[in-house]
Amino acid sequence: MKKRLGTLASVLASVSLTLFGLVVITFLIGRVMPIDPVIAAVGDNAPQEVVERARQEMGLDQPLPQQFLYFVGQLLHGDLGQSILTKNSVASDIARYFPATLELATAAIIVAALIGIPLGVWAAVRQGTWVDQTIRVICLAGHSVPVFVLALLCLLVFYAVLEIAPGPGRQDIIYQDMVPHVTGLLTVDSLIAGDWGAFWDALAHMVQPVCILAYFSMAYITRMTRAFMLDALHGEYVITARAKGLSPAAVIWRHAFPNVGVQLVTVLALTYAGLLEGAVVTETVFSWPGLGQYLTVSLMNADMNPVIGATLLVGLVYVGLNLLADALYRQLDPRIR
């Protein structure tokens, strides 16, 4: 019991220190960037007295330590400031845009894992054969071809030429605002409302961006799974299992694969976090109203409050996924427990 309390205290201290560092770095980024949030708010042609008054109202005329304390106080009250572009609070904007990215990233990581892990295992088992070489070429293409090229090709072929896929956006205009907002995930909200037309329409709009994101994620997951499995297949316990006469399937899936589970948890967690914050290009090409597009538009218009808020959210996502990965480690590896 005492050992568990000590472990919990250590985890809480580590998380608190990480979050504090994240807040400090985010605050400094917002202050050192060559963008004046006051000018962005009042305009380049505003009179000097208006600029100074706005600077005082925003607290930017105070010394840096006081600005930081004010910033932390706002965060503790859940106040991320107001967006210049949307005129809404940043918290409400993030609550509106983040579910779209969450839905896209979750679908992509599921597809990528279901395809990438078996491919990686297959490539490792068939090392040096044409199967291994083919899978490696597919993964190499996934890392080499720019995201926007594949995204534009998808729109050109499946939407413009073949006309078998819906256009950009998250939903057709006839279904917009027809489904009650419950979770922010259109597919889930459509099922809750029992609106199958809206569900299939939302699902159809997800197919292309999900496939693009899943392909790039699958390439990384496959490569890492192959590398982990190659090490596992050369382990003494695998050689012993083969000597006992176990079937190849039993050797691979019952002895070798469970020993790469901990490494795969890390790979999947980091890949998922990357999808949640790095789908900017895909969201832009497909006009997907997610966090990446919101962050990009805000940054291009010098709207710093959304940039800082979105950066904090991404940092929290990474911290949360790392904690989840640590918890899964203990379930997968008895030695850690």
Average pLDDT over residues 204-209: 91
Looking at the structure, tell me whether residues 175 and 213 fall in a common domain. Answer: yes
Domain boundary among 53, 76, 99: 76
* Helical ranges in the chain per DSSP H: 2-32, 37-42, 48-57, 64-76, 90-125, 130-144, 147-154, 186-193, 196-233, 236-243, 248-250, 261-278, 280-285, 291-300, 304-332
pLDDT for 298 equals: 82
Tell me the mean pLDDT in the region 153-177: 84
Nearest to 296 by CA among 284, 285, 282: 284
Per-residue pLDDT at 336: 61
- Whether 133 and 265 map to the same domain: the answer is yes
Q: Are 223 and 121 in contact (CB under 8 A)?
A: no
Q: Please report whether residue 83 resides in a domain.
A: no
Residue 41: domain span: 2-76
Average pLDDT over residues 89-94: 88
Q: Reply yes or no on whether the pLDDT at 250 is more than 70.
A: yes
* Residues 14 and 103 occupy one common structural domain: no
What's the pLDDT score for residue 121? 92
State which of 76, 99, 122 marks the end of a domain: 76
Which pLDDT value is given to residue 161?
85
Q: Let me know if 83 is exposed, middle or buried by CB neighbors in 10 A (0-12, 13-18, 19+).
A: buried
pLDDT of residue 109: 94
Q: How far apart are CA 20 and CA 23, in angstroms?
A: 5
CA distance 281 to 129: 35
Considering the domain boundaries, does residue 337 fall inside one?
Answer: no
Whole-prediction pTM:
0.85
Q: How far is CA 257 from CA 37, 116, 128, 175, 233, in A?
A: 52, 14, 19, 45, 9
Per-residue pLDDT, 35: 67
Residue 191 shares a structural domain with residue 118: yes
In a domain, 199, yes or no: yes
| Contacts with 135 (C-beta within 8 Å, 6 or more apart), sequence order | 119, 120, 122, 123, 222, 226
pLDDT digits (tens, 9 = 90+) for 44-74: 677 777 777 877 777 777 777 888 888 888 8
In a domain, 114, yes or no: yes
CA distance 165 to 149: 17
The CATH number linked to 211 is: 1.10.3720.10
Please count the structural domains in the chain: 2
Check whether residue 178 and residue 282 sit in a common domain: yes
> Domain check: are 168 and 302 in the same one?
yes
pLDDT of residue 1: 62
pLDDT top residue among 63 and 187: 187
CA distance 116 to 273: 17
Q: Is the domain of 13 the same as that of 137? A: no
Task: Give percent of the chain with pLDDT exceeding 90.
Answer: 17
d(CA 294, CA 100) in angstroms, rounded, equals: 11
Angle CA 211–278–160, to nearest 5: 40
Are the C-beta atoms of residues 282 and 212 closer than 8 Å to each other? yes
> Does residue 39 share a domain with residue 132?
no
> Considering 76, 107, 128, which residue would you say is the last residue of a domain?
76
Domain identity same for 45 and 103 = no
The answer to whether residue 108 scores a pLDDT higher than 90 is yes
Greater confidence (272 vs 246) lies with: 272
Res 226: pLDDT: 93
Same domain, 41 and 105: no
Examine the domain organization and report whether 181 and 298 are in the same domain: yes
> Are 153 and 286 in a shared domain?
yes
| Inter-axis angle of helices 196-233 and 186-193, nearest 10 | 130
**Average pLDDT rounded to a whole number, residues 304-317:** 84
pLDDT recorded at residue 71: 81
**81 is a domain residue:** no
pLDDT (0 to 100) of residue 4 = 66
For the chain, the first-to-last Cα distance in angstroms comes to 13
